[in-house]
């Protein structure tokens, strides 16, 4: 079974990502190290009926009493009211600092549960059990946890690393095509920014049907890449920024269209294709890269063009509000080849020119 180590902050804070089909039915031994006798399992209305029974069974086998807390599925759940519900449930369950909090779900469940675990009694043991492809290759690893504020996404958060990540790739069988596509957008991103061999493999596989049988290996490679970024830059002050390739436009699209209209990974796909075009127009990205990246994204049934009805002016305005803005410039990750990138501060004028396909 692939086990990918993550070392954030210091070697003593190492944790492991275990990746295997059927892991949810055979993970009791991985809980043996915990002295606590209780686990609050936070799921959502999709994941609770599918996976909480298997996880509870494994916890019972490890001598740990579980309690399942079910949140509504969807981005709106990442709010202060649901966070308070979690704290109330932890208190009702008499959870202590020796006990465990486990996130069982996609990025929304992982983010809010991680934030609750980081803050409840100043921090309790936290385990991620991601069940979407996007959460398995990205959000469950690296410790970014958060809730949204009415004025913006992820505005209240922390860096709080999990102590264990359990990826049962059988959970992908219950995802719909859009969710798989959203995860594949992030997978292709890793190839684009730092691993040309991964990109070429995905390019050669050429379709979801060919890739899904080897998804365990692909997930393991993505986790290795993410772990290396986290090791180098656990608090996102430098190189970790590269993981935001495609995100400048993606966040603007998500804002402009309303959260949930596009899945995050779908917006990232459009953002990556656009960033390649901008990179070429501005002279940072070798000619032909946009066409190659776009062809791969489209082979995996991902969108690459701007959705109809959104004006370049409006999108440029949205991008200027990006969290990564520096003064009047927006740091945007551009490819300098397949498997290589750099963050470039772009002015609103350059963003607008880029959105207009290089024409002022
Ligand atoms: N999802 C990007 C990061 O963890 O930095």
CATH classification of the domain holding 19:
3.40.50.1970
Question: Which residue carries 């990138």 as its tokens?
Answer: 341
Measure the CA dihedral 206/212/215/216, to 10°: -150
The reply to whether 112 and 258 lie within a common domain is no
Q: Is the CB of 146 under 6 A from ligand 1?
A: no
Ligand 1 pocket member 44 (CB < 6 A): no
**Which two three-digit tokens encode residue 237?**
């002050």
Does 55 reside within a domain?
A: yes
Ligand 1 atom nearest 143 alpha carbon: 4
- Which residues neighbour 240 within 8 Å (Cβ) at sequence distance 6 or greater? 142, 229, 230, 232, 233, 234
Q: Are residues 160 and 201 in the same domain?
A: no
Give the position, in ligand 1's atom list, of the atom nearest the Cα of 240. Answer: 5
For residues 83 and 137, membership in a common domain is answered with: yes
Same domain, 156 and 219: no
* Residue at which a domain ends, from 142, 174, 206: 174
Question: Is 159 contained in some domain?
Answer: yes
Closest ligand 1 atom number to CA of residue 229:
5
21 sits in the region (left: phi over 0; alpha: psi -120 to 50; else beta) called: beta
277-309: pLDDT as tens digits = 989 988 999 999 999 999 999 999 999 988 887
User: Are the C-beta atoms of residues 245 and 335 closer than 8 Å to each other?
Assistant: yes
The reply to whether 360 falls in a domain is no
Do residues 202 and 83 share a domain?
A: no
Residues 293, 321: one domain? yes
Asked, for residue 202, whether it belongs to a domain, the answer is yes
Domain closes at, from 174, 191, 210 = 174
In angstroms, the CA 71 to CA 85 distance is 9
227 plus 336 within the same structural domain: yes
Of 123, 127, 118, 138, nearest to 58 by C-alpha is 127
Residue 327, domain CATH? 1.20.1090.10
Beta-strand pair 164-167/38-44: unpaired
The domain boundary, picked from 145, 174, 203, lies at 174
Q: Number of structural domains, the chain? A: 2
Specify whether 160 is located in the same domain as 186.
Answer: no
198 and 330 inside one domain: yes
* Bridge partners (DSSP) listed for residue 346: 330
Domain shared by 169 and 193, yes or no? no
The answer as to whether 26 is a domain residue is yes
Q: Where would I find the beta strands (DSSP E) of the chain?
A: 3-6, 15-19, 38-44, 65-71, 100-105, 125-130, 144-149, 152-159, 164-167, 325-326, 329-337, 340-346
What is residue 244's DSSP assignment? G
The CA–CA distances, whole Å, from 310 to 2, 271, 352 equal 43, 14, 13
- Structural domain including 239 reads 177-355
Identify whether residues 170 and 182 lie together within a single domain. no
- The preferred substitution site among 6, 17, 134, 142 for testing ligand 1, maximizing ligand atoms within 8 Å of CB, is 142
| Cβ atoms of residues 127 and 162 within 8 Å | yes
Question: Does 153 share its domain with 182?
Answer: no
Q: Is residue 121 part of a domain?
A: yes
Q: Return per-residue pLDDT of the chain as tens, 360 residues.
A: 689 989 887 776 799 999 999 999 999 999 988 888 999 999 999 999 999 999 999 999 999 999 999 999 998 999 999 999 999 999 999 999 999 999 999 999 999 999 999 999 999 999 999 999 999 999 999 999 999 988 778 899 999 999 999 999 999 999 999 999 999 999 999 999 999 999 999 999 999 999 999 999 999 999 999 999 999 999 999 999 999 999 988 988 888 887 778 899 999 999 999 999 989 988 999 999 999 999 999 999 999 988 887 777 778 777 777 656 666 788 899 999 999 999 999 887 787 777 766 554
Cα angle vertex 43, ends 39, 46, to 5°? 155
- 66 three-state secondary structure: strand
CA distance 74 to 255: 16
* 340 falls within a domain: yes
Positive or negative: CA dihedral 257, 263, 268, 270: negative
Q: Which of 132, 237, 243, 268 to mutate to test the pocket of ligand 1 (most atoms within 8 A of CB)?
A: 243
User: Which residue CA neighbors atom 2 of ligand 1 most closely?
Assistant: 243
Rg (CA), the chain: 20
Residue 23 is encoded by which pair of tokens?
């892991």
């Amino acid at each position: 079974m692939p086990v990918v180590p993550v070392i954030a902050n210091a070697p003593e804070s190492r944790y492991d990502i275990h990746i295997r089909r059927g892991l949810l039915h055979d993970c009791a031994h991985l809980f043996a190290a915990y002295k606590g006798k209780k686990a609050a399992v936070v799921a959502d209305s999709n994941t609770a009926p599918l996976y909480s029974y298997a996880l509870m069974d494994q916890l019972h086998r490890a001598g740990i009493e579980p309690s399942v807390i079910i949140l509504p599925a969807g981005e709106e759940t990442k709010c202060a009211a649901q966070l308070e519900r979690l704290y109330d449930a932890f208190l009702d369950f008499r959870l202590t600092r020796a006990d465990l909090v486990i996130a069982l779900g996609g990025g929304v469940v992982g983010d809010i549960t991680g934030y609750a675990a980081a803050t409840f009694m100043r921090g309790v043991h936290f385990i991620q059990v991601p069940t979407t492809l996007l959460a398995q290759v990205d959000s469950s690893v690296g410790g970014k946890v958060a809730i949204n504020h009415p004025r913006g996404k992820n505005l209240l958060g922390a860096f709080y690393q999990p102590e264990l990540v359990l990826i049962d790739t059988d959970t992908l069988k219950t995802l719909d095509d859009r969710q798989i596509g959203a995860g594949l957008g992030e997978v292709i991103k890793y190839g684009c920014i730092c691993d040309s061999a991964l990109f070429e493999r995905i390019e050669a596989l050429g379709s979801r049907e060919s890739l899904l049988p080897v998804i365990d290996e692909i997930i393991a490679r993505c986790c290795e890449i993410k772990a290396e970024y986290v090791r180098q830059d656990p608090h996102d002050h430098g190189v970790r920024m590269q993981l935001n390739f495609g995100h400048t436009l993606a966040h603007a699209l998500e804002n402009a269209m309303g959260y949930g209209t596009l899945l995050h990974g779908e917006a990232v796909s459009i953002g990556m294709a656009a960033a390649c075009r901008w990179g070429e127009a501005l002279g940072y990205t070798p000619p032909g890269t946009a066409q190659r990246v776009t062809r791969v994204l489209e082979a995996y049934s991902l969108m690459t063009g701007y959705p109809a009805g959104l004006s370049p002016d409006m999108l440029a305005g949205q991008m200027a509000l990006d969290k990564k803005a520096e003064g009047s410039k927006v740091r945007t990750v551009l490819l300098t080849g397949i498997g290589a990138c750099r963050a470039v501060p772009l002015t609103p004028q350059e963003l607008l020119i880029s959105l207009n396909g290089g024409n002022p």
